[in-house]
Structure 1
Amino acid sequence: MVDTSRRTIADIVGPAFTIKSLSARFGKPESEIRAAIEAGDILSLPTTDGVNLMPASQFGPDGQPLPGLRVVLAELRRGHDDAWLHAQFLAAKSPLHDDRTIAGELRAGELLDVLALAIQTAEAWSA
């Protein structure tokens, strides 16, 4: 049996940025990042110590959110409004291609397929 009690955030959703580290990495003002979180443009994971973590997998190499991320997150919220659950969805192995995560599908431009998965997943969560 595998002991999952000691799993780290990186084990669950991969590497993540704080607001400060995202700002430093891509030169974005922290206020702009906070506004994007509030608008639902990027996924932010609240922690018990009050830090917001943003999975790195949701950003392209230029620091912009992956194309279509906002609409996918909005669809997932319809099913269940839990950022940690949404992060796990994005980090999950894709049923479309064995070598990609769902976030990887977005990165590859497969928005319509990812959106269909998000709709299906949201419906299952709300059932």
Structure 2
Amino acid sequence: MTTTNSRAGTRFLSAQTCQEHLGVTREELDVKVASRLVLQMTTSDGVTVYPEAQFTATGELLPGLADILSMLLRATFDEWTVFYWLTAPLDDFGGCTALDVLRLGNRSELDLIRAFAYDDASAWESTR
């Protein structure tokens, strides 16, 4: 199953499709989610989904995303907040999203995105 959300045209994968995409078992996928290496979200009707945009065309996690997921997911209980953070247009990058910047792989821009994530995660933690 694949569904699409209007936010940045993002497609969402089911657990089975995500497993196939990554080439892992369900247990391995669960470990990746628990380790904050893959973003998993639950819809309002209880369906578990995985944003396809977090992966490269070859099924690997975008370079640098694991660090950002770890920072942001640790700071909030809401995975949708992290998803919206990753897909929000950024003025500093000409309207590109954090996922766009990660996909391009420019080292200095990756470092800047990491710094933004750290700052926002710190702000979120201070309000919890």
TM-score of the pair, normalised by structure 2: 0.79
Q: Aligned pairs, how many?
A: 120
2:71 is equivalent to residue 72 of structure 1: no
Deviation at 1:106, TM superposition (A): 1.1
Unaligned residue ranges in structure 2 (runs of 5+): none
2:5 is equivalent to residue 10 of structure 1: yes
Query: Structure 1 segments of 4 or more deviating over 4 A?
Result: none
2:111 is equivalent to residue 112 of structure 1: yes
Give me the whole-angstrom Cα distance separating, in 2, the residues matched to 1:37 and 1:79: 15
Structure of greater relative contact order (alpha carbons < 8 Å, 6+ residues apart): 1
Q: For the structure 1 residues 80 and 23, does the alpha-carbon distance in structure 2 shift closer, same or farther, using more than 3 Å as the test?
A: closer
Unaligned residue ranges in structure 1 (runs of 5+): 1-7
Deviation at 1:99, TM superposition (A): 4.8
Deviation at 1:15, TM superposition (A): 1.0
| 1:1-127 to 2 correspondences below 5 Å | 10-12=5-7, 14-109=10-105, 110-125=109-124, 126-127=126-127
Give me the whole-angstrom Cα distance separating, in 1, the residues matched to 2:22 and 2:72: 27
Give me the whole-angstrom Cα distance separating, in 2, the residues matched to 1:20 and 1:57: 16
Deviation at 1:77, TM superposition (A): 3.0
> Matched residue of 1:123: which SS?
helix
Percent identical among aligned pairs is 29
| Counterpart AA for 1:80 | T
Give me the whole-angstrom Cα distance separating, in 2, the residues matched to 1:99 and 1:48: 28
1:39-77 Cα offsets, whole Å, 9 max, x none, are: 110110023443321111111111111112121112113
Is 1:94–1:105's contact at 8 Å kept on the other side of the alignment? Answer: no
